[in-house]
Chain A
Amino acid sequence: MPARDRPVALILLLLAAYTIAAARDMSYMQGRTPGPGFAPFWIGVGLAVASLAILIRRPTGPARAADSPASPATGSTSTLIATTAVTIMAVALAERLGMITALVFLLGGLVRIFGGSWRSAALTAVILPLGLYVLFGRWLQVPLPRGPWGF
C-alpha cells in the first residue's frame, strides 16, 4: 500500500466504526423486515472491510488518479489554497453583500490567482456577474441575495 493511502484509509475505517455504532442505536430489524439501521449497518461493515483491505495490502507502487488521464502537477499548493479561500469567502459573503457583489469578488480574485491580467480580471468580474444576473435573476426569476446597495 502506498504510504499516502494510509491516512484516508484510517479515516474511512473510523467512519465505518461510527456508522456501525450509530446503526446499532437505530433498529436493525422491525419484526421480520429490516429496520432503519439495517442498511447503515451493512454499509458500515462494507466500508470497514474495504478500508481494511486498503490498509493491510502490500505496497504496489504510487497511487494514481483513476478517473483522469495522468497529467503533470505544475500548479502550486498555494494556488489551490488561495482558490479555496477566495471561493469560501465569496460564498460566506453572498448573503451579506449580495450574490452579484460576491461574484465580482470571486471572479476578480480567481482570475488573478490563475495568473490573469488585471484587465482580464476586471472584465470577467464585470461581464460574467452581469450575464449570470440576467440568466438567473431575470430569466429564471431566481431571488438572488441582495446586498446593502440593493443588488
Chain B
Amino acid sequence: MDALRLLIDGFGVAFQPLNLLAVVTGVMVGQIIGVLPGIGPASTIAILLPVTFSLNPTAAMIMFVGVYYGAQYGGTITSVLLSMPGESSSIMTTLDGYQMALQGRAGPALGIAAFGSFIAGTLGVVALMFMAPSLATVALAFGPPEYATLLVLSFSLVVYLTGRDRAKGAVSTLLGLWLAVVGVDLISGLPRFTFGQLKLLSGIPFVPVAIGLFGLAEVLASVREGRAGDLVRADLSLRGVLPTAADWLASRWAILRGGLIGFFVGILPGAGATAASMIAYAAEKRFARQPERFGRGAIEGVAAPESANNAAAVGAMVPLLTIGVPGSATTAIMLGGLLVFGLRPGPLLFQQQPQFVWGVIASMYVSNLVLVALNVAAIPAFVALLRVPRAVLLPSIVALAVVGVYSLENSVFEVWLALAAAAIGYVMNRQGYPAAPLVLALVLGKTLEESVRQSLLLSHGSLAIFVTRPLAAAFLVATAALVASSMLRRRT
C-alpha cells in the first residue's frame, strides 16, 4: 500500500507540465533515433546530456527513460518495412516482421509491436514498482566489501554477456578501469596518468568519452555502411495498424512470455534488450505448435521480441535505481548524467529522494501510454523520417555533439577528448571490441577502487573480509562460477 501511495505522489510529479513535456519529447526523440539507423539510445542520451543540464534532474531522467523506451520501438518500423533494424534489439523483429510486410500485413505487425510493447512495458513497471523498494532495502545492508564484489560480478557478467569474444570484452572493461584511475588519487593526492595535463587532474570526464565512443564513433561507422532496401508499401492508417482478433489470440502468450523474459533478462548487467529479444524469440519458437511458421511471417515472432525489448528497458532500471549499478551502456550513461546532477542512484535514493524515484517510475506508465498513442496514430510521420538524407543527418549529429561537448566546460579540450574517444570507439568497433563494458567500467571504476580500499582499511589489510561476509562471498562464488563456465564452454 505504501508503494501505491508513493506512486500516486509520483504521478503528481510526472504530470507536472515540464515533466510531461519531458516524457513526450523523450519518447518522440527516442522514436526518431530508433527509426534512423546508425545512432542508438546510448548515443542519443549521451548527446542530449549537455542540453538537459538546464533541466532539473527529475525532468532529465524522465526524458532519458522516454528516449530509451521510444528507441526500442522506433527500431521496429525499419525492421518491418525495410528489413533493416534501427536498433540491435529489433534484429529478431525483422525475421517475421518483414515477411508479414511482404504478405501485406505490415500494419498488424507494427500494431502488435506497439501494443505488445505497451502491455509488457506496463507489466514491467508494475514489477519494478514492487521489486525495487525491497531490493533497495536489502542493498542498504551493503558495505564496501559487498559493493566491491558486486561490481566485480557485474563486470564479469557484462564481459560474459556482451559480444562473442570474452577476451575482447575483458580488454574493454580494463580500458574503462584504466581511464577511471586517471587523475589525482583522492587519498594520497598523487596524480596518475595525467601526462602533465592540468585538465586531467580531476579525472577523465565521462560525458565527452560517452559522446565520442557512441555518438561520434557510430557516425564514423555509418560512413562505411550503405543503406539498402526499399520501403514496403503498407496501409499505415489507424484501421490498418490495429491487429485483428485472431492476431490478438495468436500473440497473447507471446506478449506475456516476452515481457517476463525481457524484464528479468533486463535486470542482468550486460544482457540488455538485444539479448532479451533474442531469448524471447527463441522461447516462443520452442513453445510454438508449428515452429516452422517462424521466419515466414508469424505474428508471435514479432510480438515476443518487441514485448521483451521494452520490458528489458524497464528491467534495466532496477539495478540502476536500487543499487546504483547500471546494466547497460544506456543506463551507464544515465548514471553518469545523474552523478553530474549530484544524484547518486542507490538504496538511499528511495529514502532521500522519493519524489525523484517515484516521479520517474510514474513517468514510465505515462511513457508507455504516449508510446502506444504515437505508434498507433503517427506511424506515417515516423516513416517520413526515413526520407531524411544521410548526408544531412550524419553531419548534424557531429555538429550537435561538438557544441554539446564544448558546452560542458566551455572548453575545446573536452571536444578533443571526445574526438579521441571517437577514434578509439571506431577502432574498437572495427576490431570487435564491445564499447559497453568500457563505459560501464569508466563510470563505476572509481567506486570499485574506493570500495576495495575501504574494505581493506576495515580489515586492516586482510583479504578475508571478501569471503567472511556472506553476501560478498556469494558474489565472489557467482563470479568464479561465471569465469569457470566461460572457460569450460570455450574448451568444449
Contact = CB atoms under 8 A, between A and B. Distances in A.
Contacts of A69: 85, 88, 91
B221 A107 contact: no
Given A39-B177, A68-B429, A107-B395, A54 B389 contact: no
For the complex of A and B, list the 5 residue pairs with the smallest distance between their C-beta atoms, beginning with the closest.
A66-B163, A32-B461, A74-B226, A116-B391, A110-B395
Interface of B: 50-51, 53-54, 85, 88, 91, 162-165, 167-171, 174-175, 177-178, 181, 185, 187-188, 190, 192-193, 219-226, 228, 389-392, 394-396, 398-400, 402-404, 406-407, 410, 412, 415-416, 419, 423, 427, 429-436, 449, 452-453, 456-457, 460-461
A75 interface: yes
A128 B399 CA distance: 8
B221 A68 contact: yes
Contacts, number: 198
Q: Which of A8, A50, A103 has the most CB of B within 10 A?
A: A50
Contacts of A66: 162-165, 168-169, 432-434
A67 B330 CA distance: 13
A26 B190 contact: yes
Contacts of A57: 167
B225 A129 contact: no
B461 A111 contact: no
A109 B457 CA distance: 56
Given A33-B453, A63-B431, A114-B395, 19 more contacts: A8-B427, A8-B431, A22-B193, A26-B192, A40-B192, A46-B177, A51-B171, A68-B88, A69-B88, A72-B228, A74-B225, A76-B224, A94-B406, A94-B412, A111-B391, A114-B394, A120-B392, A140-B53, A143-B410
Contacts of B88: 67-69
Q: Which of B185, B226, B427, B456 has the most CB of A within 10 A?
A: B185
B130 to A, nearest CB: 33
B60 to A, nearest CB: 13
A5 B228 CA distance: 29
Contact of B225 (A36, A72, A90, A145): A72
Contacts of A76: 224
Contacts of B435: 67
B392 A124 contact: yes
A128 B452 CA distance: 48
A99 B181 contact: no
A53 B177 CA distance: 19
B216 to A, nearest CB: 8
A5 B165 CA distance: 12
Contacts of A99: 403, 406
Given A74-B224, A140-B51, A65 B432 contact: yes
Given A46-B174, A140-B407, A110 B185 contact: no
Given A34-B453, A66-B164, A136 B396 contact: no
A30 B399 CA distance: 47
A132 B434 contact: no
Interface residues of A, number: 73
A57 to B, nearest CB: 7
A116 B392 contact: yes
6 contacts: A15-B178, A36-B188, A43-B178, A63-B165, A67-B436, A83-B223
A103 B400 CA distance: 9
Contacts of B398: 87, 106, 110
A111 B167 contact: no
Contacts of A79: 223-224
A87 B419 contact: yes
Interface string A7-35: 01000100100010010001101111111
A139 B52 CA distance: 12
B407 A142 contact: yes
A132 B81 CA distance: 32
A106 B181 CA distance: 34
A108 to B, nearest CB: 9
Contacts of B402: 87, 90-91, 94, 103, 106
A29 B168 CA distance: 30
Contacts of B389: 116, 120
Contacts of B224: 73-76, 79-80
Given A110-B395, A116-B389, A135-B51, A65 B171 contact: no
B319 to A, nearest CB: 21
A109 B188 CA distance: 48
B460 A32 contact: yes
Contacts of B219: 83
B432 A50 contact: no
A140 B54 CA distance: 7
A79 B394 CA distance: 13
Contacts of B449: 38-39
Nearest to A100: B403
Given A36-B188, A72-B226, A80-B224, A110 B456 contact: no
A136 B402 CA distance: 12
Interface in A109-133: 110-111, 114-116, 120, 124, 128-129, 132
Q: Which of A83, A90, A144 has the most CB of B within 10 A?
A: A83
A58 to B, nearest CB: 11
Contacts of B170: 46, 50, 53
A5 B188 contact: no
A106 B431 contact: no
Given A57-B167, A103-B402, A33 B457 contact: yes
Given A107-B399, A140-B407, A67 B163 contact: yes
A86 B175 CA distance: 28
Q: Which of B88, B403, B407, B434 has the most CB of A within 10 A?
A: B403
B392 A111 contact: yes
